[in-house]
Structure 1
Amino acid sequence: MKKLVFLLSWFVVSSSFAQEPLSHESIKLQTDRIFSNLVKIRRDLHENPELAGNEIRTQKVIAKYLLDLGLEVDTNMYGHGVVGILKGGRKGKTIAWRSDMDALPNDFADEVAFKSKNKGVQHGCGHDIHMAVGLGIAEVLVKNKASLNGTVYFIFQPEEETFIGAKAMINDGLFSKIKPDEIYGLHVSALPVGQIMVKPNEMFAYQKRVKIQLKNELSKEEAKALTKKIHSSLYRVSSSSKPWEIQLMIDPKMGLKKANTIFKDYLFMDENFSTHTKNNTLSLQAYLYETDSTKLKDLIPKIKQVVEESGYKDQLLSISFVQDNPTVINDEKLTNAASKTLQKIYGKEVMIADHGQVPYFNDDFAYFQQKIPGVYFFLGGSNPEKGIVAMNHAPNFRVDEESIRTGVQCFSSLIVERLKKK
């Protein structure tokens, strides 16, 4: 009888221990154990990049990995999307993690042993890193699913580079299949490896492509002079700052980390407009970048005023935005909560406050945020000591693979903590 009581007591204690909440030290250890395999997967994806709409092999690799982990997997999605579903051992809220899948059409120098095997196609934006991080989070969490509260959805999204995939997945019924309460995602950036950056509200400037159509009665010189006037009339930057020099985003004195960064409160426009003539119509097009959403409504009237004051009122046919994508806007409450959580666990040296908005780039993650409160992070991928600069879409773009470890560890912890919240 004493032996039976001992065995029953041991069973109760063991069961209770097994159901203890997943510790962040355990997350760190588990991340370290799987890190080398995640690097291997990342390099395989890097060697076999696929353009938007062609992520066939990528889908198979992702789906197999999730199935091998024991997740429920749905590939009946728009394009070549994949959703892995991890149901925790306890009831709770639902959280989604997004990783994008597609590569870029370029053939830049790529000085790594695992360079692309597909000519003219490269993972020059870091989506291979994003997928490795997403798979790593899934692996860490699935090994501890009995102690998780709620459900985690791992959304692997195609066609991000063309700004199509997220919206198409939603239109194809993604959120009738899954119903997350919150959604998170990241993008590798030129920040130092080991750092994560985030801010509430806009992460990027609003990017618009404006199209001005006039009767084709202007000479080349007149058209050029007009575009210069439009460019200068819309110019708004702080004294001597150059927010179009994107490499300055990591500058210690004027970059995103500084409260007085040059990457806030600006409006600038491409200096060189594209010019086309067709059917006696002159078309002038250029991108502009504005940080203040309240000023967007004034842009077209301002351009119209410049055209008319330049003496071309009778030649003006129309002014419109021909590209008007939404921008990533982080939910303020969730962003603040996530920042505090990660700072508490991993320290302020890991979790960095962002004080600006990045021009040129954007992410169709914005469409998910229109449906669900969400947060989008910048994950540092540069390591100057190794000669690695993770400036996306640039020649010699490279990423320190230690960023995978940082991403898996930190965001596994974040999801575990968010699942505890009611």
Structure 2
Amino acid sequence: MNKQILLALLFVNICCTKQIIYAQEKNNEIAAQESIQLETDKIFDKLVQIRRDFHENPELAGKEKRTQELIKKYLLDLGLQVENNIYGYGVIGILEGTKKGKKIGWRADMDALPNDFPDKSDFKSKIKGVQHGCGHDIHMAIALGIAEVLAKNKKTLHGTVYFIFQPEEETFKGAKGIIENKIFVKYKLDEIYGLHITALPAGQIMVKPNEMFAYQKEIEIEFKNRLSGEEVKELTSKIRNSLVRSNNGSKPWEIQSIIDSKIGLMNPNTIFKDYLIVDENFRTYSKNNVFYLNTELYETDAARLKNIIPTVEQVIKDNNYAPQMLSIEYIKENPTVLNHPNLTAISINTLEDMYGKGFVTIDYGQVPYFNDDFAYFQQKIPGVYFLLGGSNFEKGIVAMNHAPNFEVDEECIRTGVKAFSSLLFQRGG
């Protein structure tokens, strides 16, 4: 047999081997996806009970001790390595697949809100003045569910998944504390993902590249002398009029409209893009013979942020208050959630390859008033942050965060666990 024939046979053998390996891996992926859906259904009722336990026993930022203990036990029972010397009452569960792959992070926030709003659920908070009114109880239940589902598929899992249960999100401290921790830095994550419950229909997944929320700033103006009530009203009205911007007279400050099919986030002509909102009621106070005016504002366009303070200064000058003004500055400049464009596109394609075209709804706007310190993770690691619908309007359930009678259709837990277990499984390879 001559050399050319031997080389040809060798080439054919290599190609056949590659095809067999590819087919085997494909079959393993299909089997894993079927297992993910099956296991999600099996543990769904248990996750609902876990969520209700979190809801009944909420803990404020920096006080998430009981929550930490429950999460640690759950992860240890799954066989995960657990790290809790990370920041505050944070917990990280580490799941190592049996195959080589990426290091993927999944973040869930833990803390509750300081409020006592009406709550229609049968499992109300047992702690007066503290509630899970932002859905972090749902976030934790979903993260624990993903951890359990993937742990049951460990034999075919590529890479390592880090389940980051983060404290102190509401105070915008927890994420920053974790990413500055030496233990976390050593993990060197390749990608990170997270979600937030919102008022969209239950189970609807929404995402977009780049900014998910408006840029949130708080501006403070200092004056030598106290302004009268009438002076404050007139000056702040002129400041607002010089700044506020919206499309064709729309009202992007009416946040309930984010779910409107005609003007909401899912419509390319949404009113929630290209706007600048300024709170109507400026806060006033005096300290050490200095008079202060404060307000929060929400801008969608990063390039316009540099114009805000000069514009306010000009209004103050035009109204003859310049001699009285001591200073003007931002006193809060939290970063905004900024989704990695390429990773967002890959995530959408991955989910729709598994669950069908249209499974993910495209977000065309930026949500005002809300933000998330997940942004700090994204400054260090390519990441994607999803919105997950929690409302069921037929049942009168509206998952409007930080609002009275905030409720969540718990069926969204099933969607969250199923979809994002699948995504993490695929991204690990």
Asked if 1:85 is matched to 2:77, the reply is no
Q: 2:226 touches 2:286 (CA, 8 Å); kept in 1?
A: no
Asked if 1:248 is matched to 2:257, the reply is yes
Q: Give the equivalent residue in structure 2 for 1:64.
A: 73
State the secondary structure of the residue aligned to 1:340.
helix
Asked if 1:237 is matched to 2:246, the reply is yes
List aligned pairs for 1:263-412, cutoff 5 A.
263-412=272-421
After superposition, the C-alpha distances for 1:74-127 in whole angstroms (9 at most, x for unaligned) are 111210000000000011111000000000111111111211111111100000
Structure 2 residue runs without a partner (length 5+): 1-23
Name the amino acid aligned to 1:374. G
Q: 1:381 touches 1:399 (CA, 8 Å); kept in 2?
A: yes
Question: What is the distance in 2 between the residues matched to 1:354 and 1:374?
Answer: 16
Q: TM-score, normalised by structure 1?
A: 0.94
State the secondary structure of the residue aligned to 1:91.
strand
Shift of 1:169: 1.3
Asked if 1:54 is matched to 2:63, the reply is yes
Shift of 1:166: 0.5
List aligned pairs for 1:188-267, cutoff 5 A.
188-216=197-225, 218-267=227-276
Shift of 1:31: 0.4
After superposition, the C-alpha distances for 1:189-218 in whole angstroms (9 at most, x for unaligned) are 101012100000000000100001112153
Q: Give the equivalent residue in structure 1 for 2:13.
A: none
State the secondary structure of the residue aligned to 2:38.
helix
Shift of 1:19: 9.2
Q: Percentage identity across aligned positions?
A: 65
Asked if 1:186 is matched to 2:195, the reply is yes
State the secondary structure of the residue aligned to 1:413.
helix
Q: Give the equivalent residue in structure 2 for 1:148.
A: 157
Q: TM-score, normalised by structure 2?
A: 0.92
Residues 343, 280 of structure 1: alpha-carbon distance in 2 compared, 3 angstrom cutoff: same
Shift of 1:385: 1.2
Question: What is the distance in 2 between the residues matched to 1:224 and 1:318?
Answer: 19
Question: What is the distance in 1 between the residues matched to 2:408 and 2:359?
Answer: 17
Shift of 1:173: 2.4
Question: What is the distance in 2 between the residues matched to 1:43 and 1:350?
Answer: 27
How large is the Cα RMSD of the aligned pairs?
1.4
Q: 2:68 touches 2:89 (CA, 8 Å); kept in 1?
A: yes
Residues 219, 113 of structure 1: alpha-carbon distance in 2 compared, 3 angstrom cutoff: closer
Residues 312, 71 of structure 1: alpha-carbon distance in 2 compared, 3 angstrom cutoff: same
Residues 237, 33 of structure 1: alpha-carbon distance in 2 compared, 3 angstrom cutoff: same
Q: 1:38 aligns with which of 37, 47, 72?
A: 47
Shift of 1:349: 4.0
Shift of 1:251: 0.4
Q: 1:18 touches 1:147 (CA, 8 Å); kept in 2?
A: no
Q: 1:20 aligns with which of 22, 28, 42?
A: 28
Shift of 1:174: 4.3
Name the amino acid aligned to 2:28. E
Q: 1:194 touches 1:350 (CA, 8 Å); kept in 2?
A: no
Deviates more, 1:256-265 or 1:340-349: 340-349
Deviates more, 1:175-184 or 1:383-392: 175-184
> Number of matched residues?
405
After superposition, the C-alpha distances for 1:384-422 in whole angstroms (9 at most, x for unaligned) are 1111000000000000000100000000010111112xx
Q: 2:103 touches 2:190 (CA, 8 Å); kept in 1?
A: yes
Q: 1:193 touches 1:400 (CA, 8 Å); kept in 2?
A: yes
